[in-house]
């Protein structure tokens, strides 16, 4: 789909998203439909501007702080890229090099790293009940710091993946779907299968499937969640999905086989994750410092995974999708059978066929993050985008 810059501006003018100014971004379902649409419109507009070599800087100086409590490549670089294109300098808080081990409180650290911060991006996805709560603690702390005159600006918090949702990922996924099918109005009645897939590794976060069912149910699609018994996601996110589906005129269903999920699907998203109950158990074991218990749990989970090695995205399965050509999606990196592991989430043949589309999917993330920051920092985003275009500063001279 070739979206035009002026269409983005027109779209923005019709939306009500004023509440995003000076706000944060935690979970997609805390945002209105208009707010979600505004993120897409700004992301598209920023990408258009960059493609045409316009500088999209709205900051002359300022910093973007990131805190990664789990490894990351694409989200790390997406966040840094988003900061860079807006004129902010990214800086990572490496907790290992800091004095945090000293017993410093979250509130204190949050303020101490934010003296010049316009945005804070956090990834904290491993422990149930912790990641999102930590992000709120940080956001509250810097808001208070701003009000108390500690900080000259209030940093915006962007959730780069928590225990509940992975908004920058699933928003990028959704924008990819919109582009692929030619517009949000083309999605009514499309079937998307979010399914568990086998992986020889252990303990992958649940935020992607939870985020997918929490967001994709808002567009009138038929969203199907499939997983083996015992691999359920956080119940609250299923409730969100149900409510969304009802409101949007779509459906949300759970099925217990990959085959059923894939049948006539327009979009498939096969991906491994750990059972919610196991993640809760692990959180408790970490809390108790029970390393032996964690090691036992790991073995148990790998054995449990191994019972479902047939949950893999094959060419045969892909042929059962709508006209045999559903859009295959993954948040990457995928466990590819015969490439990164003996047997994994997807066959190499399927992955290779969709590779360019998968990279394209990932490429929306920097723009989604930039749009989230933009909407939090700019009072009149449509006017600012037009101003950026009118000033005509070249990004690369």
- Taking CB under 8 A as the binding criterion, the range among 29-37, 127-135, 149-157, 273-281 that sits at the site for a second copy is 149-157
Question: Considering the rule CB under 8 A, would residue 153 count as an interface residue with a second copy?
Answer: yes
Closer to a second copy by CB, 213 or 362: give it.
362
Q: Per CB under 8 A, which of residues 343..362 are in contact with a second copy? A: 355-356, 359-360, 362
* Encoded tokens for 137: 């603690």
State the greatest distance between any 2 C-alpha atoms of the chain, in Å, as a whole number.
62
- Residues near 73 by Cβ (< 8 Å), separated by ≥ 6? none
Q: Per CB under 8 A, which of residues 227..266 are in contact with a second copy? A: none
Minimum CB distance to a second copy, residue 333 (Å): 4
Question: Considering the rule CB under 8 A, would residue 103 count as an interface residue with a second copy?
Answer: yes
Instruction: State the number of binding residues for a second copy (CB under 8 A).
Output: 80
Among 113, 208, 297, 371, binds a second copy (CB under 8 A): 113
Q: Per CB under 8 A, which of residues 183..202 are in contact with a second copy? A: 201
Preceding amide of 130 cis, omega within 30: no
Closer to a second copy by CB, 105 or 239: give it.
105
Q: Given the DSSP bridges, would you call strands 267-271 and 327-328 parallel, antiparallel or unpaired?
A: parallel
Minimum CB distance to a second copy, residue 231 (Å): 20
Closer to a second copy by CB, 25 or 68: give it.
68
Q: Residue 157's beta-bridge partner residues? A: 120
Q: Per CB under 8 A, which of residues 51..90 are in contact with a second copy? A: 51, 55-63, 65, 68, 71-74, 76-78, 80-81, 84-85, 87, 89-90
Q: Per CB under 8 A, which of residues 308..337 are in contact with a second copy? A: 332-333, 335-336
Minimum CB distance to a second copy, residue 140 (Å): 13
- Taking CB under 8 A as the binding criterion, the range among 23-31, 112-120, 160-168, 290-298 that sits at the site for a second copy is 112-120
Minimum CB distance to a second copy, residue 320 (Å): 27
Question: Considering the rule CB under 8 A, would residue 146 count as an interface residue with a second copy?
Answer: no
Q: Are 361 and 172 in contact (CB under 8 A)?
A: yes
**Alpha-carbon gap, residue 152 to 155, rounded angstroms:** 9
Minimum CB distance to a second copy, residue 386 (Å): 13
Among 34, 108, 280, 298, binds a second copy (CB under 8 A): 108
Closer to a second copy by CB, 99 or 295: give it.
99
Helix (H), strand (E) at residue 150: none
- Taking CB under 8 A as the binding criterion, the range among 28-36, 100-108, 279-287, 294-302 that sits at the site for a second copy is 100-108
Query: What crossing angle do the helices spanning 235-248 and 207-216 adopt, rounded to 10°?
Result: 20
**Alpha-carbon gap, residue 179 to 187, rounded angstroms:** 11
Q: Per CB under 8 A, which of residues 19..58 are in contact with a second copy? A: 47, 50-51, 55-58
**Alpha-carbon gap, residue 265 to 323, rounded angstroms:** 9
- 328-351 burial: b if 16+ Cβ within 10 Å, else e: bbbbeebbbbeebeebbbbbeebb
Computed from CA positions of residues 243, 244, 245, 249, in that sequence, does the dihedral angle turn out positive or negative?
Answer: positive
User: Nearest to residue 20, comparing CAs of 380, 367, 383?
Assistant: 380
Question: Considering the rule CB under 8 A, would residue 4 count as an interface residue with a second copy?
Answer: no
Helix (H), strand (E) at residue 392: none
- Taking CB under 8 A as the binding criterion, the range among 97-105, 119-127, 165-173, 223-231 that sits at the site for a second copy is 97-105
Closer to a second copy by CB, 104 or 316: give it.
104
Among 21, 22, 100, 253, binds a second copy (CB under 8 A): 100
Q: Residue 255's beta-bridge partner residues? A: 226
Contact mark string toward a second copy, 364..383, x via CB under 8 A: -xx----------x------
Closer to a second copy by CB, 261 or 369: give it.
369
The dihedral region occupied by 332, where left means phi > 0, alpha psi between -120 and 50, and beta the remainder, is left
Q: Are 45 and 385 in contact (CB under 8 A)?
A: yes
Closer to a second copy by CB, 48 or 218: give it.
48
- The Cβ of residue 220 has, within 10 Å, a number of other Cβ atoms equal to 18
SS3 135: helix
User: Nearest to residue 142, comparing CAs of 367, 380, 376?
Assistant: 376
Closer to a second copy by CB, 231 or 374: give it.
374
């Amino acid at each position: 789909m070739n979206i035009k810059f002026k269409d983005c501006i027109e779209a923005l003018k019709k939306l009500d998203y004023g509440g995003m100014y000076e706000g944060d971004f935690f979970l997609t379902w805390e945002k209105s439909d208009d707010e979600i649409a505004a993120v897409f419109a700004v992301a598209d507009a920023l990408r258009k501007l960059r493609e045409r070599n316009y500088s999209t800087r709205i900051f002359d100086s300022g910093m973007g702080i990131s805190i990664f409590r789990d490894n990351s490549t694409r989200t790390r670089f997406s966040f840094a890229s988003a900061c860079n294109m807006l004129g902010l300098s990214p800086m990572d808080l490496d907790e290992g090099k800091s004095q945090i081990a000293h017993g410093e409180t979250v509130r204190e650290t949050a303020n101490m790293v934010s003296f010049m911060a316009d945005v804070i991006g956090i990834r904290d996805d491993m422990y149930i009940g912790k990641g999102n709560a930590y992000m709120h603690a940080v956001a509250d702390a810097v808001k208070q710091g701003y009000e108390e005159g500690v900080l000259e600006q209030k940093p915006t918090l962007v959730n780069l993946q928590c225990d509940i949702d992975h908004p920058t990922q699933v928003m990028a996924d959704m924008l990819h779907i919109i582009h692929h099918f030619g517009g949000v109005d083309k999605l009514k009645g499309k079937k998307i299968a979010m399914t568990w897939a086998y992986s020889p590794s252990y303990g992958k976060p649940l935020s992607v499937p939870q985020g997918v069912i929490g967001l994709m149910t808002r567009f009138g699609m038929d969203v199907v969640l499939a997983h083996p018994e015992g691999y359920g996601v956080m119940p609250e996110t299923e409730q969100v999905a149900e409510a969304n589906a009802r409101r949007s005129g779509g459906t949300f269903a759970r099925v217990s086989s990959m085959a059923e999920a894939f049948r006539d699907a327009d979009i498939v998203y096969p991906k491994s994750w750990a059972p919610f109950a196991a993640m809760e158990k692990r959180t408790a074991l970490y809390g108790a410092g029970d390393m032996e218990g964690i090691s036992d749990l790991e073995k148990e989970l790998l054995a449990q995974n191994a019972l479902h090695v047939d949950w893999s995205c094959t060419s045969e399965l892909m042929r059962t999708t709508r006209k045999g050509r559903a859009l295959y999606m993954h948040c990457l990196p995928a466990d590819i059978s015969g490439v990164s592991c003996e047997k994994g989430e997807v066959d190499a043949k399927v992955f290779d066929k969709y590779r360019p589309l998968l990279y394209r999917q990932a490429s929306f993330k920097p723009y989604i993050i930039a749009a989230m920051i933009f909407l939090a920092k700019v009072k009149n985003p449509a006017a600012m985008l037009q101003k950026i275009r009118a000033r005509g500063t070249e990004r690369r001279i």
